[in-house]
Structure 1
Amino acid sequence: MASNHGVEHRDLLAHVLLPVANEEDARGTARMLAPYDPDHVTALHVIEKGEGVPDKTPVEQSEAIAAEAFTAVHEIFPDAAEHTAYSRDIVKAIFAAADEIGASAIAYRSRGSGRLLQFLSGDLSLKLVTQAEYPVIALPQEDTET
């Protein structure tokens, strides 16, 4: 087995950062994480904030979406912490939140999208897994046959 090159051993599921986009995404992502029984979960919602350009949605509306997402996570993980970040760069905000809370890993569920959307968005999933300084856990898509 390969050496960890000086990386301290830590439990991947000790404190999982769970980025969520909206209520439906939060519920599905939390449901897919639940079987792995993490010790602690912090749900993260990134509100895309202008930085000199118009916001996609009003901040108040985005904060309401975040609150709904957190409520959905609490259905699965009642003790989950909540973290909201405001940034134009979603991936950078995820990494900053992971640093801030001392995450052991970042768990996410790919939201799936066409190649054009991936190209235009810079493929957030690709950036998340290739630029992270934290272990990234890609959760399976939810089974739609239930």
Structure 2
Amino acid sequence: MTLSFDGTVIVPAADPDDGERTAAALKPHLGPHSTVVVVNVIEKGGGVPDKAPMERREEYADEIFDRARRALESTETTIETDVLYGTDVVERIFSEAADRNADAVAFIPREGSQLVQLLTGNVAQRLITEASVPVVALPHDD
């Protein structure tokens, strides 16, 4: 069975490498009617100071989007990008998926120790267990 996307796919990316890897892994599954929306969620502190200056975080998001766009060059796919803001990354991703009537959320799970996953809230696990749309964990291309 071949996986293909003909509608809207939300691609959350945490850093430029993540955006590029995920876009490259998704590319063979896209068609001319696909729309890829690469998003970067800037986590707000909810009443506490932000982790980094907002301008720097938005510039970092632009780096993520540039690398993802380059990975999707030479496709007929529509590519959109969006900086999202929220106190809960997973909730914000699924909110955006609902707002855009997305067919799926696609990502590559990042590697890390169980301790790191415990301390960071393991976004990958939450994306799968709290899914409100189909979620596709793409394989690493090592």
The residue matched to 2:128 in structure 1 has which SS? helix
User: 1:123 corresponds to which residue?
Assistant: 122
> Is the contact between residue 14 and residue 104 of structure 1 (CA under 8 Å) also seen in structure 2?
yes
Inter-partner Cα distance in structure 1 for 2:48 and 2:112: 24
User: 2:13 corresponds to which residue?
Assistant: 20
- TM-score (normalised: structure 2): 0.87
Identity of aligned residues (%): 36
**Rg comparison, structure with higher value:** 1
Residue 58 (structure 1) aligned with residue 53 (structure 2): yes
> Is the contact between residue 5 and residue 29 of structure 2 (CA under 8 Å) also seen in structure 1?
no
- Count of residues paired in the alignment: 133
Q: Which amino acid aligns with 1:103?
A: A
Equivalent of residue 44 in structure 2, options 49, 55, 60: 49
Post-superposition offset of 1:72: 1.0
Residue 67 (structure 1) aligned with residue 66 (structure 2): no
Inter-partner Cα distance in structure 2 for 1:13 and 1:52: 40
- Aligned-residue CA RMSD (Å): 1.5
- TM-score (normalised: structure 1): 0.85
Post-superposition offset of 1:82: 0.9
Stretch of structure 1 that moved more, 105-114 or 72-81: 72-81
Runs ≥4 residues deviating over 3 A: none
Could you list the runs of 5+ residues in structure 1 that have no partner in the other structure? 1-10
Post-superposition offset of 1:91: 0.4
Q: Which amino acid aligns with 1:76?
A: A
Inter-partner Cα distance in structure 2 for 1:66 and 1:81: 13
Q: What pairs up with 1:1-146 in 2 under 5 angstroms?
A: 12-38=5-31, 39-78=34-73, 79-143=78-142
Inter-partner Cα distance in structure 2 for 1:13 and 1:141: 22
Could you list the runs of 5+ residues in structure 2 that have no partner in the other structure? none
